Amino acid sequence: MAVLFENISNCVWQAFEVLQQDKSGFVHKSKLKVLTANIGTLLDLYGVERGLEHFRSTPTLNFDQFKYYLQKEVFSSLPNKLPLSELRDYETRIAEVCWLVCRKKFVCRENKIFSDESVFQIFRVFCMLADLVPDAHNDNTYQVLLHPSEVYNIAQTLATSLGCPWDEEDFTSLSISMGSFRLSPFIAVLESRSLVGVMDNFAISEAVTDIYQTLVEDVIKKGYLTKRGYIFPTMREYWFVLRPSELSYYKTRSEKDRCGSLPIEPGSRVEAKAGDKIILHTPERAYELGTTDHMTRVQWISALQLAADHSGGHQSYQRLQAARRKLQRAGRIQEMMRARAQLQQERSARQAAEGQAKELEAVVKEESKKLTELEELRSKLERLLEEETQAKRDEEIVRALQARVLAEEWEKREELERLQEEQHLLLEEERGKRKEFEELQSEKETQLRCAEMRLEQLEKERQALDEQLKLAHDKIKLSEDRKELLEARLYQVAPNLREGDRVRRAHSFMPSTKERPVFLEIRAATLRRQPKN
């Protein structure tokens, strides 16, 4: 009930606005009875208009009072949650009733390009995407306004589908000058910006119908597919129209002869099959569909999965998308408001600073040099403020880098502690080895001292042996001298002897080799005893 009432509020306001005799925001109850009776008939409710006579004591009602009556007396009989197909059907019929009331206002225009059916479709699209906002000049009235971004999307889509040029800068300047769009300016913008040079009324109607089906009737995708029959298992080609709740198929593209529909429920899923086939699994049964190529199959699989994901909701897919875009715009507006408030604060602070500067200028008017210095100081302060802002940003970056460096330092510290432990263990091992080496060195020094002592002893023995050898040499020399002396004496005693006999005789007096040292000693002693001449 609440969803349906919210969806048709814009249409009801359009009809309510037409029923006003003036711009006061009040409509006589007799006119509202007709509108209420028609809406009640569409909902299978009869006589709901009679309660208007007893609702409030005034002969007229404003829109808030009329909405309250409709909500409590008419739409309260509906269940809170309706299937999407029924919800779309109720919206269409109520919109048609409201269109009958306000049709004359929007259709009877000079130099119109859209047909009456296209204007009604544009009316439905506008009411679905627009917002109902209170009028700033009158508390009892409202305005149905469409955001420029939505107008941009619709106008560009219409121009693209008809092959018309689209001037983005021109529309931007137009949207800035107009702000939000009412229905009549919206239709005028579509005619003037999206239908440049197009004279084919059928093409225009078809393009508008495509936009209407996409946005209002919640059509996700359309196209030709082949379907395997249930009784006769042959593949036949149909024109398929996909919505979140169902997949309808028709004999031709005109969508006049409906052949049936495949229900799409939250439990439905899509499966790809060889040969560019698609299997649509529903809780009841599985349906086999065929495409012409791989790209078409991928597009249909994505669209069918999207329809299955949004089939269990109680609001149409396009309305959910519009609500999401509205939330995004609201978020951007809030950001702009915050930025504007901040700018206003900065402007106020700047104005206050300028006032103080003026006061200072009035006080020191004669001191032009000081004024110049103050202006330079102010510019310097502004520059410093920018630098400080940049420094804060840099400081945040540096803090992030310091945090990362600190983490790396902690890792390095842990690594160094581990290395320190390893070095400590290696140092202990080196100390043990050094101690062993010192013990070995002391042992070697002891052996060295022993070797030196032994060497000194051997040196003494060598010196003794040298002395003995020297004595032996002296004795040999002495014996040689005595030999010569003896030969000289023998020569004096026997001069006539031949040389060979003297030698033999001398040798006969010489002792043998073993006896020679003894002989030499005896000879030396004999010579010592002989008197010197």
Residue-wise pLDDT for 229-241, tens only, equals: 877 788 899 999 9
Q: What is the CATH number of the domain that holds 304?
A: 2.30.29.30
pLDDT of amino acid 127: 92
Judge whether 119 and 99 are in contact, CB under 8 Å.
no
For range 298-313, the mean pLDDT: 88
- Whether 498 is covered by a domain: the verdict is yes
The per-residue pLDDT for 109 is 66
From 264, 296, 315, give the residue that closes a domain: 315
pLDDT at 427: 92
Residue 145 main-chain phi, psi, to 5 deg = -120, 140
In a domain, 388, yes or no: no
Q: Tell me which of 181, 215, 249 is where a domain ends.
A: 215
Q: Is residue 75 part of a domain?
A: yes
pLDDT of residue 523: 55
The reported pLDDT for the residue numbered 56 is: 87
Q: In the predicted model, is pLDDT for residue 316 greater than 90?
A: no
Average confidence (pLDDT) over 80-108: 86
- Residues 227 and 203 placed together within one structural domain of the fold: no
Q: How many CB atoms lie within 10 A of CB 18?
A: 16
**Can you tell me the mean pLDDT for 101-114?**
79
Give the pLDDT mean for 42-59: 87
The reply to whether 98 and 194 lie within a common domain is: yes
Q: What is the pLDDT of residues 169-223, one digit of tens each?
A: 888 888 888 888 998 889 888 888 888 888 888 899 999 999 999 999 889 999 9
What's residue 501's pLDDT? 55
Cβ proximity of 232 and 331 under 8 Å: no
Q: Is 271 strand, coil or helix? A: strand
Render pLDDT for 393-429 as a digit per residue (tens, 0 to 9): 888 899 999 899 999 999 999 999 999 999 999 999 9
The 10s digit of each residue's pLDDT in 336-367 is 888 888 889 888 888 888 888 888 878 777 77
Q: Do 15 and 88 share a structural domain?
A: yes
Domain boundary among 151, 181, 215: 215
- Which backbone phi and psi does 104 adopt, to 5 degrees? -60, -35
pLDDT at position 528, please?
Answer: 54
Cα separation, 116 vs 148, whole angstroms: 24
**pLDDT at position 242:** 93
Burial 144-171 (b: 16+ CB within 10 A, else e): bbbbbebbbebbbbbbebbebebeeeeb
Q: CA 390 to CA 383: how far, in whole Å?
A: 10
Shared domain for 42 and 189, answered yes or no, is yes
Q: Are residues 206 and 226 in the same domain?
A: no
| Secondary structure class of 220 (helix, strand, coil) | coil
Q: In terms of C-beta density within 10 A (0-12 exposed, 13-18 middle, 19 or more buried), how is residue 227 classed?
A: buried
- pLDDT in the model for residue 533: 41
278 and 205, same structural domain? no
> Regarding predicted confidence, which is higher, 374 or 411?
411
Q: Is the pLDDT of residue 247 over 60?
A: yes
In a domain, residue 348? The reply is: no
| 198 and 73 fall within a common domain | yes
State whether 85 and 210 are in the same domain. Answer: yes
Q: Does 355 reside within a domain? A: no
* Residues 378, 247: Cα–Cα separation, whole Å: 70
For the chain, what percent of residues have pLDDT higher than 90? Answer: 31
Asked if the model's pLDDT at residue 459 lies above 70, the reply is yes
Tell how strand 131-134 and strand 60-62 pair up: unpaired
Look at residue 358 and tell me if it is in a domain.
Answer: no
Q: Is the pLDDT of residue 274 over 60?
A: yes
Instruction: Provide the pLDDT confidence category of residue 524 given band limits of 50, 70 and 90.
Output: low
Mean pLDDT score across all residues of the chain: 85
How much is the pLDDT for 500?
54
Considering the domain boundaries, does residue 459 fall inside one? no
Residues 231 and 91 in one domain: no
Domains contained in the chain, number: 3
The pLDDT, as a whole number, for residue 267 is: 82
- Please compute the mean of the pLDDT values over residues 134-145 and round it to a whole number: 84
pLDDT of 146 over the 60 cut = yes
One domain for residues 6 and 145: yes
Per-residue pLDDT, 525: 54
Higher pLDDT, 511 or 26: 26
**Residue 1 pLDDT level (bands cut at 50, 70, 90):** low
Residues 148 and 92 grouped into a single domain: yes
Q: Average pLDDT, stretch 273-278? A: 87
pLDDT band, residue 97 (cuts 50/70/90): very high
**Across 127-141, average pLDDT:** 86
Domain membership of residue 497 as a residue range: 490-529
Q: Does residue 303 lie within any of the structural domains?
A: yes
232 and 90 in one domain? no
Asked if the model's pLDDT at residue 498 lies above 70, the reply is: no
Q: How far apart are CA 498 and CA 506, in angstroms?
A: 12
3-state secondary structure at position 124? helix
Half-sphere exposure of 50 (CA within 13 A, CB side): 3
Phi, psi for residue 47 in degrees, rounded to 5: 85, 10
Q: What one-character DSSP code corresponds to residue 110?
A: T
Task: Yes or no: say if 255 and 243 are a contact pair by the CB < 8 Å rule.
Answer: no
